[in-house]
Amino acid sequence: MATTLQSSMLPLWKKSLLLNNLFVLIAALLSGFSRRAKSFEMIVLGRVFAGINSGVSMNIQPMYLGESSPKKMRGAVAMTSACFTAFGLVMGQVIGLREILGSEEMWPLLLASNAVPSVLQLIALPWLPESPRYLLIDQGDKESCICALQRLRGNRDLNQRDGGDVSGTGCHQGKRAKRLWELFREPSLRWQLITIIVLSSAMQLCGNDSMYFYASYVFQEAGIPYEKIQYAVIGTGCCEFLTSVTCSLFIERIGRKALVLGGYSLMSVWAIVFMVALSQQDRISWMPYLSMACIFAYILSFGIGPAGVTGLLPTELFDQMSRPAAYMICGSLIWLMLSLVGLLFPFIMAGLGHFCFVPFFAVCVCTSVYVGFFLPETKGKSVMEVTEEFNKRNLKALTHDQPWKGPAEIKCTML
């Protein structure tokens, strides 16, 4: 359902987000009154509406930020979406403390608390302009585009191209956005599509969320009192938040490829250390502390690059006509793989025991190899420049799939 909404509403980002807030308000009402109505069905339905809201907003927001920012600041601006996602995780952990809203009496308010950011967004969104690229390329409204740019960046001279904001305008005007199936059938976008499929899937299959699942157990084995474990768990969320903020500060200096490659490479190392520590914690007294350190290190490594850069890449790899469908694929895969890991991890843990992170280790290693060989650096480049780099590989594959027929035609001539 969320995927269908993304497909139909992505271009009109502000109207989409305004409408999308209705889902979370409905979810808050259903969850908040579920206890009084004595209906667990209301909780389930509320979570469905909350999931639709998350699926839509987490795709539209980075796309709007990427389209509205100057080329030199595109990575840092788009990364703010990951920063506030991590901040929301920390806030959820904090208000979920037993002393605040985590008690048995207050849990309906805890489930309904997601209405607060929704109300704030409803108040703020009407004051923000539409995406300048959408206004110029999709709507062909140059005046509205200039007004939007002036509202976003001030009243300075916009006659000069500011960071490639409208690169490729002429070739896209008058065309409609590509459909999902058209994106899969387009040979010139083959490797861009493979790249977002690999990285979007790896973002959840890398096992970062499973570390949160293991945190309480490891902290308990390390000797932290049960009533204090909830405070230690907040530290895991703080790690991801701090690294997301740090990544946004250095992404334009280091580059996207280096951050993603470094993140997955470090996660591969920590996965091995974590499994060794788990297997030896009953024999060596200080191993639980090493396990606890691995949890924080794993989450920190995830926040370095994969957490934020993955959501930015569709903006930088696809042009205006292909970007909505690309974000739909990216978002759908992220949530699908998250559900898959949530369903399979208990069985993986029961079957592999202390070595349950072997599948996640394999995903991290394979993703590191793919990024190292196939992902070009997109820092400071326009979409057209990135497309030219991918065309070297796309055109090679196209030539292989459709070999030249010249020699066969020559045989049929008089010569």
Give residue-wise pLDDT tens across range 39-93: 889 999 999 999 888 888 887 888 778 777 777 777 778 778 888 888 988 998 8
**Predicted local confidence at residue 29, as pLDDT:** 94
**Predicted local confidence at residue 410, as pLDDT:** 34
Q: Roughly how many angstroms between the first and final C-alpha of the chain, as a whole number?
A: 62
Interval 150-175: pLDDT, tens: 887 776 555 544 444 444 444 555 56
| Sign, Cα dihedral of 176, 180, 185, 188 | positive
**Predicted local confidence at residue 358, as pLDDT:** 93
Tell me the average pLDDT across 269-276.
93
| Least reliable range by pLDDT among 105-119, 203-217, 219-233, 241-255 | 219-233
User: For residues 98 and 233, what is the distance between their CA atoms, to the nearest angstrom?
Assistant: 13
Evaluate if residue 12 carries a pLDDT over 80.
no
* Residue 129: both structure tokens together: 């302009």
**Predicted local confidence at residue 415, as pLDDT:** 29
Interval 184-212: pLDDT, tens: 888 888 899 999 999 999 998 998 888 88
Tell me the average pLDDT across 258-276.
93
Q: Quick check: 299 and 236 in contact, CB under 8 A?
A: yes
| Least reliable range by pLDDT among 139-153, 239-253, 257-271, 392-406 | 392-406
User: For residues 173 and 32, what is the distance between their CA atoms, to the nearest angstrom?
Assistant: 47
Tell me the average pLDDT across 225-253.
85
Assigned superfamily of 2-137+178-400? MFS general substrate transporter like domains (1.20.1250.20)
Confidence band, pLDDT 50/70/90 cuts, at residue 399:
low
Q: pTM here?
A: 0.80
